[in-house]
Structure formats: C-alpha cells, structure tokens
C-alpha cells in the first residue's frame, strides 16, 4: 500500500524515459517539487539540477545514499490488472482490496519463486515495494519515496524489515544501485542494475 503520498518531498529513481525508451543509469536521480528542496538536496549530498520544470529533476553523482528509515515507512503489495481493472490486490497472503474482502486469504503461493513464476505467466500479481526515508545528511528536507517493481528487492524486504528496531526512532541504511551478474540460459553473462537496501547503523536518538 502506498501511504503518506501527500507528505512526499521527493522521489528517487534510477531510470527514466528518454524519447519513449527507458534510460537506466547506475546513479540515482531524484525529482523534487521545489527549487529550494533541489538546492538543499544538492548541498547535502551533491548532484546536478537537470531541469527547472516541476518536478525538478536532479542527477546525483552517486549510486549509494545514506538514508534514515522507520519500520512503518516500508510497504509492499501485489497487483494484477485486467481489462476491467484491478483483478487481484494482496500482500502475498491476504487480500488488501476490495475492502469487503480485506484480510481474507488471497490464494497466492507462499514463496517468491512461485509468485514470480505466476506473475511472468500473467496469472499472478506483480510486486510493488515502496519505501519512504529521510536523507541522513539532511533529514529536514522531508520524506523521499522510492518505488520498485523488482522481485529481488521485494524478496529482500521481509528480512530487512525484521532487522529494523521497532522502537526508538530511525535506522541508518544505505540505499544503493547494485550491478547484478547472472548467467543466462544461453550461457551468456548478463549484468543488470537492481536497487538494494541494507542497515548500516542506528540513529543516535
Ligand atoms: Zn495474492
């Protein structure tokens, strides 16, 4: 579920559409809603302002950003769309919507491997992970949001979340873009970029 959407100061991305083609870089790019926030972000973590339109796009010089996260700022859901709209909306085990059926078992497989297989066939829902965070270097800028359809990222979230302390404020984490190498079925080495989140320490509160 996507929450807090009205309080978001900026959005993190590592790809964008250029002339209808997806251009993926190994550096973060952010979009903010004001020139003042763009300037504060560049001062705090570096970067170059790429546009002055709203939202203002800022290219960061880095693939790794230190952020502050609280457990309730992480959300995850799975959706399957059909010609008549949303066909399946769950958290992997329970229905999220329609509201009348909320909390009922959704019937999805318990493992990510099986869920991914069904999603690829178009018979099961796709994952969507949303994390909100503050920049560790400038938390006063406000909440940033990163949304990912990556199965690898979604699969890492339950373990990551269970390691976050439930109380006593936020945790220092590193949000990065990692090159992932694998060998394809044709025995070719393939590299792709994927987001990664890991804990680096506790906030001193
Ligand atoms: Zn489901």
Question: How far does the centroid of ligand 1 lie from the alpha carbon of residue 75, in Å?
Answer: 15
> Can you tell me the mean pLDDT for 98-124?
95
Q: Which of 169 and 20 is assigned the larger pLDDT? A: 169
pLDDT at 22: 63
Tens-digit pLDDT profile for residues 29-79: 999 989 999 999 999 999 999 988 888 999 998 999 999 999 999 999 999
The alpha-carbon radius of gyration of the chain (Å, integer) is 18
pLDDT at 107: 95
Question: How far does the centroid of ligand 1 lie from the alpha carbon of residue 14, in Å?
Answer: 28
Question: How far does the centroid of ligand 1 lie from the alpha carbon of residue 196, in Å?
Answer: 24
Instruction: Report yes or no: 28 and 60 within 8 Å, Cβ to Cβ.
Output: yes
Instruction: Round to whole Å and give the CA distance between 126 and 119.
Output: 6
Question: How far does the centroid of ligand 1 lie from the alpha carbon of residue 32, in Å?
Answer: 33
Residues near ion ligand 1 (CB < 5 Å) are: 90, 106, 108
Question: How far does the centroid of ligand 1 lie from the alpha carbon of residue 16, in Å?
Answer: 29
Q: What confidence category does residue 24 fall into, taking pLDDT thresholds of 50, 70 and 90? A: low
């Amino acid at each position: 579920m996507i929450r807090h959407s009205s309080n978001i100061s900026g959005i993190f991305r590592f790809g964008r559409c250029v002339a209808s083609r997806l251009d993926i870089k190994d550096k973060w790019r952010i979009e903010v809603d004001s020139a003042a926030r763009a300037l504060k972000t560049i001062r705090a973590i570096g970067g170059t302002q790429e546009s002055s339109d709203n939202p203002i796009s800022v290219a960061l010089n880095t693939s790794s950003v230190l952020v502050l996260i609280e457990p309730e700022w992480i959300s995850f859901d799975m959706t399957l769309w059909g010609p008549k709209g949303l066909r399946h909306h769950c958290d992997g085990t329970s229905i999220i919507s329609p509201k009348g059926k909320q909390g009922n078992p959704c019937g999805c497989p318990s493992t990510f491997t099986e869920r991914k297989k069904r999603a690829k066939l178009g018979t099961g829902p796709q994952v969507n992970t949303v994390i909100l965070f503050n920049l560790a270097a400038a938390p006063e800028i406000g909440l940033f949001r990163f949304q990912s359809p990556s199965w690898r990222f979604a699969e890492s979230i339950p373990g990551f979340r269970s390691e976050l302390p439930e109380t006593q404020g936020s945790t220092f984490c590193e949000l990065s873009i990692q090159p992932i190498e694998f060998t394809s079925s044709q025995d070719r080495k393939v590299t792709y970029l994927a987001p990664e989140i890991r804990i680096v320490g506790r906030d001193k509160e």
